[in-house]
Structure 1
């Protein structure tokens, strides 16, 4: 049986913080979100990849195109979180 993915955050009110983290990580990768709108970072990433993502109907996108957008964002976030955890662990060592 396939595992279902849940897009819900454990802390429901954390959406704004997660969006800010995404925008911060992608800024380090050279992709800027529109000023004051970190929730729109996926459109900036799509544009940088040449993928026509729009706020409404994206039924014409291939799975590969959608994966490139999400993979670039998610991969960068995971790498940054691992780096942060390693730094925290290094600070704890005597």
Structure 2
């Protein structure tokens, strides 16, 4: 297993962290997970947490593809 120093989920641009967090909370809210920013993520299932991240990636890819057109 990879060490924590080589994790790929680091924010490459630290200034983007706030925007990514806001995006995460927006997506979670749209998926019916109210107050996601105040919920202990350890009490949520992997499926619930993963679905938020997966939807974020889908939207980012879709946005990128739209910009290519």
TM-score of the two chains, using structure 1 as the length reference? 0.50
Q: Does 1:73 align with 2:66?
A: no
Q: Write 1 or 2 for the structure with the bigger share of helix.
A: 2
| 1:7 aligned to which of 3, 10, 22 | 10
Instruction: Report Cα offsets for 1:39-92 as digits up to 9, x if no partner.
Output: 4232232222123523352211111101111111111111111221x23xxxxx
Compare CA radii of gyration and give the structure with the larger one.
1
Note the residue ranges of structure 2 that are not aligned, 5 or more in a row. none
Determine if the alignment matches structure 1 residue 59 to structure 2 residue 48.
Answer: no
Structure 1: gaps spanning 5 or more residues = 23-38, 88-94
Coordinate RMSD, CA, aligned: 2.8
